[in-house]
């Protein structure tokens, strides 16, 4: 059992769900949460646990912040990253800085202070297209966006710290997560909250691109299995739920649960480099740890949608702040440029 774990990016969507998961499953483990509080980091995500874990506001790319924290810990779970594909198309530099250079600073600290386990939270985006079958851990990495390429750089840098310095790094590559506290720039919370506000649901292109969707707690339980194991250094594990759905499938579920009409759907200009299909084979994870996703897709999607219905006090302040400028910039004139037929 790990005693003190440094969680980076623990005020974001998955990180905050992971801190809560650890608090519930392993209350004896001390958590230090290092987060810069970018636009995506939100202390409200962990308001109920504010005095039950230690929060440090700081940048993973700053060794003066990182070093003393890593020295105190026996393990790291590294979530902190710039994470939105569309933003990476506009501002790639921030992705290289945090996702690649920030990971380098953490790995250097792990090397200096003899960390027992470094769980590097990578993503299935590093594979690029899943052609013909779900991606396997040994497949080539063919990332298609600056976000995915930055994550691929970090993923392989982490691996090199295992092969070169023997740092006990283990790497996860998970599919699209859904659940509570997801920043409303991502498909599901954006479309749910737009529909609640009576706004259009901007589907990129034809909307037949598919993703595999996993409940965030199933991702957390997979990461916990990787964190607790002493024999997985240098390994990569895919994490998927086998729930491949298109953007239109997801949109129609949201409309149905909310009792809204499909006239809200608006097809707009496509995302450059839009990946047609992401899906992974997670047989290795299941064989190694007996891990399986526990959450039923239909039921937990319904619950997730209901969570946003029940928590306007969480998402309304977000959507009225920095988000509004982002939204205008991102979506402003895209319908005008749209040439895609439904």
Binding site for ligand NAD (CB under 6 A): 8-9, 11-15, 34-38, 40-41, 59-61, 79-83, 98, 102, 121, 123, 151, 174, 176-177, 183
Integer Cα distance of 1 and 27 in angstroms: 12
User: From ligand NAD, ligand DAU, none, which one binds at residue 41 (CB under 5 to 8 Å depending on kind)?
Assistant: ligand NAD
CB of 268 to ligand NAD, least distance (A): 22
CB of 36 to ligand NAD, least distance (A): 4
CB of 303 to ligand NAD, least distance (A): 17
Please state at what angle helix 187-196 crosses helix 312-320, rounded to 10 degrees. 90
CB of 285 to ligand NAD, least distance (A): 14
Contacts of residue 173, Cβ cutoff 8 Å, sequence gap at least 6:
122, 123, 124, 126, 127, 135, 137, 155, 236, 237, 238, 239, 280
Q: Cite the DSSP H helix spans in the chain.
A: 13-25, 63-72, 85-90, 92-95, 103-113, 146-165, 187-196, 216-228, 247-258, 283-289, 297-310, 312-320, 322-331, 334-337
Q: What is the DSSP letter of 284?
A: H
Residue 236: phi, psi to the nearest 5?
A: -120, 135
CB of 268 to ligand DAU, least distance (A): 8
Plot region of 257 (φ>0 → left; ψ -120 to 50 → alpha; else → beta) = alpha
Residues of this chain that bind ligand DAU (CB under 6 A): 83-85, 123-125, 175-176, 186-187, 190, 202-204, 209, 211, 247, 271, 278
Nearer to ligand NAD, 167 or 214 (CB): 214
Provide the edge-to-edge strand list for the sheet that holds 117-123: 54-57, 30-35, 4-8, 75-78, 117-123, 169-174, 236-239
Would you call 21 a catalytic residue per the annotation?
Answer: no
Nearer to ligand NAD, 244 or 266 (CB): 244
User: 198, 185, 204, 342: which is closest to 260 by C-alpha?
Assistant: 198
User: From ligand DAU, ligand NAD, none, which one binds at residue 215 (CB under 5 to 8 Å depending on kind)?
Assistant: none
**Which candidate in 125, 155, 224, 235 is catalytic?**
125
User: From ligand NAD, ligand DAU, none, which one binds at residue 79 (CB under 5 to 8 Å depending on kind)?
Assistant: ligand NAD
User: From ligand DAU, ligand NAD, none, which one binds at residue 190 (CB under 5 to 8 Å depending on kind)?
Assistant: ligand DAU
User: From ligand DAU, ligand NAD, none, which one binds at residue 247 (CB under 5 to 8 Å depending on kind)?
Assistant: ligand DAU
Q: Cite the DSSP H helix spans in 41-84.
A: 63-72
Contacts of residue 220, Cβ cutoff 8 Å, sequence gap at least 6:
14, 17, 18, 21, 22
Nearer to ligand DAU, 168 or 207 (CB): 207
User: From ligand NAD, ligand DAU, none, which one binds at residue 14 (CB under 5 to 8 Å depending on kind)?
Assistant: ligand NAD
**Which candidate in 59, 74, 127, 147 is catalytic?**
147
**Which candidate in 35, 82, 124, 235 is catalytic?**
124
Would you call 35 a catalytic residue per the annotation?
Answer: no
Nearer to ligand DAU, 168 or 189 (CB): 189
Nearer to ligand DAU, 76 or 203 (CB): 203
Is the Cβ–Cβ distance between 1 and 28 less than 8 Å?
A: yes
Integer Cα distance of 216 and 212 in angstroms: 12
CB of 103 to ligand NAD, least distance (A): 9
Name the residue number minimizing CB distance to ligand NAD: 12
Nearer to ligand NAD, 99 or 270 (CB): 99
Would you call 59 a catalytic residue per the annotation?
Answer: no
Integer Cα distance of 335 and 199 in angstroms: 14
Residues serving a catalytic function are 124-125, 147
């Amino acid at each position: 059992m790990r005693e003190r774990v440094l969680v980076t990016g623990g005020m974001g969507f998955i990180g905050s769900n992971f801190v809560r998961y650890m608090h519930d499953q392993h209350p004896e483990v001390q958590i230090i949460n290092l987060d810069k509080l970018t636009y995506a980091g939100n202390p409200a995500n962990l308001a109920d646990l504010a005095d039950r874990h230690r929060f440090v506001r700081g940048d993973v790319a700053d060794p003066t912040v990182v070093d003393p924290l890593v020295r105190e810990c026996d393990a790291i779970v590294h979530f902190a990253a710039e994470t939105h594909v569309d933003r990476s198309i506009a501002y790639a530099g921030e992705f290289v800085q945090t996702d690649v250079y920030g990971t380098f600073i953490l790995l250097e600290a792990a090397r200096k202070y003899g960390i027992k386990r470094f769980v590097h939270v990578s993503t299935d985006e590093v594979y690029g297209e899943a052609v013909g079958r779900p991606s396997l851990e040994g497949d080539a990495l063919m990332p298609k966006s600056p976000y995915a390429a930055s994550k691929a750089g970090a993923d392989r840098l982490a691996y090199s710290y295992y092969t070169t310095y023997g740092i006990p790094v283990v790497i996860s590559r998970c599919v699209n997560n859904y659940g509570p506290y997801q920043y409303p720039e991502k498909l599901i919370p954006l479309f749910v909250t737009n529909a609640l506000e009576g706004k259009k649901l901007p589907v990129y292109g034809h909307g037949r691109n598919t993703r595999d969707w996993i409940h965030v707690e199933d991702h957390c339980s997979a990461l916990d299995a990787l964190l607790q194991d002493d024999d997985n250094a240098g390994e990569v594990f895919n994490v998927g739920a086998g729930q491949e759905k298109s953007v239109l499938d997801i949109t129609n579920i949201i409309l149905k649960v909310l009792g809204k009409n499909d006239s809200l759907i608006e097809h707009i200009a496509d995302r450059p480099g839009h990946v047609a299909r992401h899906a992974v084979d997670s047989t290795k994870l299941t064989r190694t740890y007996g891990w399986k996703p526990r959450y039923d897709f239909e039921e937990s999607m319904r619950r997730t949608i209901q969570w946003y219905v029940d928590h306007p006090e969480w998402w309304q302040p977000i959507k009225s702040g920095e988000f509004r400028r982002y939204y205008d910039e991102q979506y402003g004139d895209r319908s005008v440029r749209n040439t895609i037929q439904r």
